[in-house]
Amino acid sequence: MILVVLILILGALFVLLGVRNSWRYALQRIGGAVLVLILVTFGTTVLIRQVPGEPCEIALGTAATPEAVAECVDDQGLDEGVVAQYLTWSQQVLIEGDLGYAFYKNQEPLSETIQQRLPRTVILFFYSQLIALAIAVPLGIWAAYQAGRPSKGIPIWILPIIVGGIYIYGEFITDWLFTSVLTLAFLLPILIFNLFRGGRGGDTTVNFLAFGLLSLPVFVLGVILRYAFAEERNWFSLAGYVPITDNVIEHLKSIWVPALVLGLAAAPVYLRLLRADMIQNLQQDFVSVAKAKGMSNTHILLRHVLRPSTVTLMTVLGLNIAQLVNGALVVEYIFDFDGMGSYLIEAIYRQEFFAVQTLVALVAIIFVVTNMVIDVFYSVVDPRVRAEAA
């Protein structure tokens, strides 16, 4: 039912846009998405059956009566074959919208937990993406602009030697605050000098920075920043999430470090992509034309080169949702942030497999739908994609 409506809407959109074979294209897109979703959810059902012992007994605990276990088995369709179990599950979850229990023992409905916790995670994602873009876009533009120029500035291979050297020195003196301040005192001036000195050195520095951030595991950054801002200083509140409507400052205080960690993890991905894309665009003929017409470099960079790259960036923003969920699992666990990520970890520790199964399916649905929307958006913005697809 929903499917037919979706296909109709998408098809109508394509007809309006004047795509050739629009109905076939809509059918292909949605058909592919549905196939992926069915396979993912079926996969989780198969996995549930591999739980050693009876998943229902695990879910209900040792104190459960045999009747309760039997009811649960019947409810989940565990006594039937894989396909029948899958059909039971998909009818319950996907068609009736009954998500089951967050914690099977207390019969807490999962939908309530989601209602309570999902907004927090969404806000966390939103801030982290803002931070990531605020870092990635200026640096990416700058790096792409400087990439082809002669080298100036301090050679970049000094950085790992300095960091390594100071770290070994830190092992000996063991004053970690002093060591980290010393590291920053060496690193920041070199980085900032190289950045503003321009030339290829600026590009190399940005690249190296991106590599550094890309290689820094989320949990390492999270542990260090939690200590620095939440335990040593009182700049971040571990007391729990405060809605923005209550108190803006408290709200920011309860969310900024996890958002920063997620943002720093996502930034290098966007940064490298934007840089590569812009370098490619900078070599196009239209840049020479614009330059010949006497436009300023800033104008060419921002209006002619950045614009097509924005579309690529949007695509990756969508694809990065899966990555964000990965990060959120770890970051929310580190910062005791009660969002969906920490619920998932808790559910896994408590072996609430049914809830985890449903959530995995929901995340996959969100991911697939987002990507489909972005695909459509892409084809709306970029006529070349439309022509290719049709």
- Window 333-352: residues binding another protein (CB under 8 A): 333, 344-345, 348, 351
User: In the block, which residue shows the tokens 């894309």?
Assistant: 277
Nearest alpha-carbon partner for 94 in 364, 373, 374, 320 = 364
Return d(Cα 330, Cα 261) in angstroms, integer: 10
User: Per rule CB under 8 A, is residue 52 in the interface with another protein?
Assistant: yes
Among positions 2, 4, 50, 66, the unique one binding another protein when judged by CB under 8 A: 50
Among positions 44, 113, 128, 129, the unique one binding another protein when judged by CB under 8 A: 44
Are 147 and 279 within 8 A, CB to CB? yes
Return d(Cα 191, Cα 201) in angstroms, integer: 10
Return d(Cα 216, Cα 324) in angstroms, integer: 15
User: Per rule CB under 8 A, is residue 332 in the interface with another protein?
Assistant: no
- Residue 175 CA to chain centroid, in angstroms? 35
Q: How far is the CB of 342 from another protein (least distance, A)?
A: 11
- Window 120-149: residues binding another protein (CB under 8 A): 147-148
- Window 220-249: residues binding another protein (CB under 8 A): 220, 223-224, 227, 231-232
Number of residues that bind another protein (CB under 8 A): 78
CA dihedral sign, ordered 368, 369, 374, 379: positive
Please, which residue, 50 or 106, has the CB nearer to another protein?
50
Are 25 and 19 within 8 A, CB to CB? yes
Residues facing residue 103 across a β-bridge: 108
Distances from the Cα of 84 to the Cα of 37, 40, 207, 223, angstroms:
17, 16, 52, 45
User: Per rule CB under 8 A, is residue 200 in the interface with another protein?
Assistant: yes
Instruction: Select the span of 8-16, 77-85, 89-97, 159-167 touching another protein (CB under 8 A).
Output: 159-167
- Window 290-319: residues binding another protein (CB under 8 A): 316, 319
User: Per rule CB under 8 A, is residue 187 in the interface with another protein?
Assistant: no
- Window 253-282: residues binding another protein (CB under 8 A): 268-270, 272-273, 276-277, 279-280
User: Per rule CB under 8 A, is residue 215 in the interface with another protein?
Assistant: yes
